Structure 1
Amino acid sequence: MSWAQPVRIPADVDQEDRIVGGFTARQVAILGGTAGLLYAAYMLLGEHVPLMAYGVGALPMALTGILLAIGRRDGVSLDRYVLSALRHQRSAKALVSESGNIPPAPAWIAARPVPRLAPLRLPARGVADDGLIDLGPDGVAAVAEVSTVNFALRTPDEQDALVSSFGRWLNSLSGPVQILIRAAPVDLSETINNLVDSAGALPHSALKAAAHEHAAFLTGLSARHDLLRRQVLLVVREPCAGAGGRDAASARALRRLEEAARLLSGCGLTVRPLDAPATRALLASCFGPADPPLPTDQLATPDEVITTGEHR
């Protein structure tokens, strides 16, 4: 009985295939295009320009082609890096939350140089009252926060049970799902204030002193270190295609979260779907992780005019 020769899978599955002399198709195209341009230039100018002068002029072009083909920066090929830099240079830097035509600037602003404006296009169009994220043509997404378990402290039998329960949930998936582990900053100011406020109601002076000492310890800890907490998020997405459109997609997304909560409970995990305020706070923290959360009563709607010191 003969066995097929095993195939070695590279560690980087996204690595491009090398087709000629250790070069990828992209590198061959760049080098071949550069060589073709140099040959065409030689055929046009060879009879009119000395060979030495042509070589001096062609050397920068040849070096540029070689660098674009084999050069890399921050893990990105140099040709893609240059194209991204050119697109960034030509793109508008001032983005506004306007989906249609951007109105012209007022007269009192137009007197000064105004940068070119462009609409800010984000994947999320908004957050519904039930906490679902509207992704526009891509459907809807539901987000839930998941607790964690200490896998290393479990016995081998318990670890096998956890893996089996998690595998059953993976086998039950019927659509796209994302498991996101993020580090979120921790604000201890509310805890410290509650500790100081409740210290006065303690029956013994030693307890009051201990409460104030612990509050001082937490204050110093927050001042010396950037406190972070690990947050595990489960995101499910449902397209709007089919009968029912967005309402049906929303119902399917919520039902998938309920199924995940039921199946992952066998692993000792708690799945808590995020409501609308929590989802908005999560999206806002993703744009500014280091910024403190803003009170919801101080946020203006997109169509409100914001004046100095207040919004109305």
Structure 2
Amino acid sequence: MTPHEDIDWSTPEVAAHYDELPLWSAPFGLMLLDRVPLRRGQVVVDVGAGTGFVTVELAQRCGPESHVTAVDPWAAAMERLADKVAFLGLANVDLVVTPAERLPLADASVDLVVSNLGINNLDDPAAVLRECARVLRAGGVLVTTTNLVGHMEQVYAAYRGVLSELGLEAHRPALDAQEQHRATVESVSAQLAEAGLEVVDVATDTFRMRFADGRALLAHWFVRLGFVAGWRSVVPEPEGDRVLDLVADRLDAVAAEQGALELTVPMACVSAVRR
């Protein structure tokens, strides 16, 4: 078969499914796909699958003999994934809309569990990891990615400067808590060990997100979705919006000096085995 001979690029369906990955999750997902074991016939669970970037890739990269179960309580995202699965004709994918604390799978029935920025964003990661360990066979592997403490440190530095300038240091603990609740390699490794999984590989890296200035950052759709509400909550109204405006001013100044606003995001990919 020649490449793309069965794909009609003029159809609206092809365009509709040629969507770009969110820039936030893509670097983590590529890191995971570089390290995850790939074998035909393996049973895979994608925890916190979302709209299914990793699910779809593993279902294809492991071949049709494999089976991938995507798990996520976010029903709207799973509907989007169902549409992709149907369009791609992936008969080896199941979708389960449920919290990962209750995986509808038998003990020791899974070869591989993956989670791209999933487990670290759940309410009870310890319970989820226990479930992952329960369903993994002996020798089964869990591969998870997470952002680390220190992400977007440039924003937090500007925010601390504003709090100091306005005499609002009383709100500093709330800001620090937001920054520090991110994972560390040590905290992820400890959670995995507590769940009965042995860490066998840790990879770390950093990627950059560049913006014209601070206001472009705060107006970006994904930043608004994932971060702005939390940053705004540090200082209650009526001062909260003013504080965020001043943070934007400081970030604008950084961008003017450097030519662009560059944010750094440290990340990790951790692999563990069920012994």
Question: Greater strand percent: which structure?
Answer: 2
TM-score (norm 2): 0.22
TM-score (norm 1): 0.20
Larger gyration radius, structure 1 or structure 2: 1
